[in-house]
Chains A and B, each alone.
Chain A
Amino acid sequence: MIDFSILIDHWDMYLEGFGNTLKASLLALIGSFVLGTIFAIFRISPIRPLNWIGAAFVEFIRNIPLILVVFLFFVGLPAIGIVLNPFLAGTMGLTVYTAAFIAETIRAGIQAVPKGQTEAARSSGLTYLQTMRYVILPQAIKVVIPPMGNQFINLVKNSSVLGVIAGLDLMYFGDLIAADTFVTFDVYIFVGLFYLILTLPLSSFVSYLERRLAKGR
């Protein structure tokens, strides 16, 4: 049987870890969305050097392990004199890592909109930006929502990387409690349940958005 006394005795630690995981996830979600959108625009922009910067960022970041990206912020930045606390370094690593995937998702969504849409809009006199805003992006967003939801769910789970660098998240406190009690299995079951509290609602929110957008045609 699962020993609930572990949960009750260490409630404060679980709660602090949960709060920090939630905080890291929210910050990284917003940050990676903004950063990812910027790099997606770089990749499709008509300006060549921006394409290169966008491509370099995406290919470099998404092809190395998340933990290395986090180390870049945790041990790399101090090497050049910028010292961040583990929570911040971990969250920034998570943000940058996820942004690479978000950028690809958004780019693919924009390019999935048929070329004729751009031609119709531009030939009626709309500018490039107006075309993006009123014609292309509203259609791209429908294509992008399901894969974007996956990225955000992954992000929440990937935030457990903070545990490795003492980032005070759920995983970190889970490890602490396990080391404290020598009860490993039960401790991590509760850790898993706390992650589900975040990911399940996120998952059903994405499904809801998907259904709503499908109706709007």
Chain B
Amino acid sequence: MISFHQVNKHYGNFHVLRNIDLHINQGEVVVVIGPSGSGKSTMVRCINRLETVTSGELVVDNVQVNDKNTDINKLRRNIGMVFQHFNLYPHKTVLENITLAPVKVLGVSQKEADETALYYLEKVGIPEKADMYPTQLSGGQQQRVAIARGLAMRPKIMLFDEPTSALDPETIGEVLDVMKKLAQEGMTMVVVTHEMGFAREVADRIVFMDQGRILEEATPEQFFANPSEERARLFLSRILNH
């Protein structure tokens, strides 16, 4: 479904991604962890070309992401994305936030889009907020709207870029619950997160990155019990023992 082959990325002299090789199958939940600045977000943002790669090959849903002839808007329809800071449209209601892309991109009628939006709002547990504006919601509610917004396009892949990092601790759980449910339903997910509990419970595979490299790929059982890389061990001891 997603396949990185020897992908490199530079920001000027800064080598952000180094020789990334990663294959993600349909229905798989891959959680990417690692210290700040390790390139996790950049790697995930390459998947829908919010970042371009400098060299190497990246194939998503059988499409070469960085090919000049690729219709990127068409590819992006199939890839939902959830951001750290939600990025909801503040001038639109919750319902309008969710229906904008289905109506304008997929050409779905407003009525049908509204029904789909309500279905997904129900699913993330806040159907009663449909007519409110984002600023009237808590962080956790806003992020659940953002997830519903992504799902309303019925994507094949969902990307999560630190979806709970901007939330206060009380509302993290409600967002993670929605993501768990999604994983159980077989959505292909790539999740950048610092939530180790979620990683352990939900991930099919953990990818550990540092300094632009993938240092380790393992099942959660292996990774948390006995990481093979020293750097991963250090990282885990720092974040688990406090």
Contact = CB atoms under 8 A, between A and B. Distances in A.
A139 B105 contact: no
B105 A124 contact: yes
Nearest to A136: B89
Contacts of A135: 89, 100
A125 B153 contact: yes
A122 B75 CA distance: 11
Contacts of A114: 87
Contact of B76 (A123, A130, A217): A123
A115 to B, nearest CB: 9
B73 A216 contact: no
B81 A123 contact: yes
B105 A217 contact: no
A138 B91 contact: yes
Contact of B91 (A116, A120, A217): A217
Contacts of B50: 119, 122-123
Interface in A83-133: 114, 116-117, 119-127, 130
Contact of A120 (B87, B105, B133): B87
A116 B87 contact: yes
Contact of A130 (B90, B104, B146): B104
B91 A126 contact: no
A44 to B, nearest CB: 18
A52 interface: no
By CB atoms of chain B within 10 A, which of A124, A126, A217 has the most?
A124
B47 to A, nearest CB: 10
A124 B90 CA distance: 16
B90 A217 contact: yes
Nearest to A142: B91
A134 interface: yes
Nearest to B78: A125
B79 interface: yes
Interface in A171-217: 216-217
B87 A126 contact: no
Given A116-B83, A134-B100, A217-B135, A124 B89 contact: no
Interface in B65-92: 73-74, 76-77, 79-81, 83, 85, 87-91
A128 B87 CA distance: 17
A116 B88 CA distance: 9
A125 B71 CA distance: 10
A138 B89 CA distance: 10
B48 interface: yes
Interface string B138-150: 0000000010011
A205 B122 CA distance: 42
A117 B77 CA distance: 17
Contacts of A121: 89, 100-101
Interface string B149-166: 110010000000000000
Nearest to A116: B87
B91 A216 contact: yes
Nearest to B77: A125
A134 B89 CA distance: 10
B133 to A, nearest CB: 5
A217 B74 contact: no
Contacts of B80: 124
Contacts of A122: 50, 76
10 contacts: A114-B87, A116-B87, A120-B88, A121-B101, A124-B100, A124-B105, A125-B74, A125-B105, A139-B90, A216-B91
Interface of A: 114, 116-117, 119-127, 130, 134-135, 138-139, 142, 216-217
Interface of B: 48, 50, 73-74, 76-77, 79-81, 83, 85, 87-91, 100-101, 104-106, 133, 135, 146, 149-150, 153
